[in-house]
Homo-oligomer: A and B are copies of this chain.
């Protein structure tokens, strides 16, 4: 999918995923911290689980759609080797399918982890780390023989991808650490917006082409990456603050229930982290 759309599409997905995760983790973190104000009503354990299941289902669904789109929309149609012409059919599309496959696997694992109790909870983060790592790994060997700027913008992408993988792996050991969660959200949004940027640089929809061999362009693009990071940080912190304010104001308006009624609720595990 060497086209503007081919970069804008995954970019949008990662942007949405980053925003969604930011909202989700912010909500749970704020809920946990304001327990004594009766915030259990805002986000109970059961609703948390339902949210996870919906999220995982959507991830699985879109991964499946992505694989089909790569294969049948202008792709190799499940044909791997062209024996007649002795070459591999559309290796690029197969690679993209493989990336989607791993995110799909991560979604399936997350579904299993949150519906049954066969596996430890942290498995969903481990699979997410594997999916991100696999994406970065395939991109790493994607770049042979391209022009300087093309290679450079994809290399910059790898920082965000491998960064997400590393943070998700750290979360296996430090689950529920809001800072690591926000960092992962930031890196995911950075990845998303950078996909858009790559699209604009390599396939400018209107306006002049970029000179892919100009060293000055490379210097600018590097700095541009820092700005994307700054915007991702800003977006994540704004979502966090909004969620935090909304939850607090709602809690203040509704008076807490009687202590006696709260007791049994306090007994249920504080958050998914403690069950681990």
Q: Which residues of A contact B (CB under 8 A)?
A: 87-88, 91-92, 94-95, 98, 101-102, 105, 109, 118-120, 122-123, 126, 130, 134, 137-138, 141-142, 144-145, 159, 172-174, 178-179, 183, 215-220, 222-223, 225-227, 229-230, 233, 237, 240-241, 244
Contact = CB atoms under 8 A, between A and B. Distances in A.
A229 B94 contact: no
Contacts of A141: 218-219, 222
A64 to B, nearest CB: 15
Contacts of A123: 179
A179 B122 contact: yes
B130 A98 contact: no
A216 B87 contact: yes
Contacts of A233: 105, 130
Which 10 A-B residue pairs are closest in the complex by CB-CB distance?
A: A141-B222, A91-B219, A88-B220, A98-B226, A95-B223, A98-B223, A126-B179, A88-B216, A118-B244, A134-B226
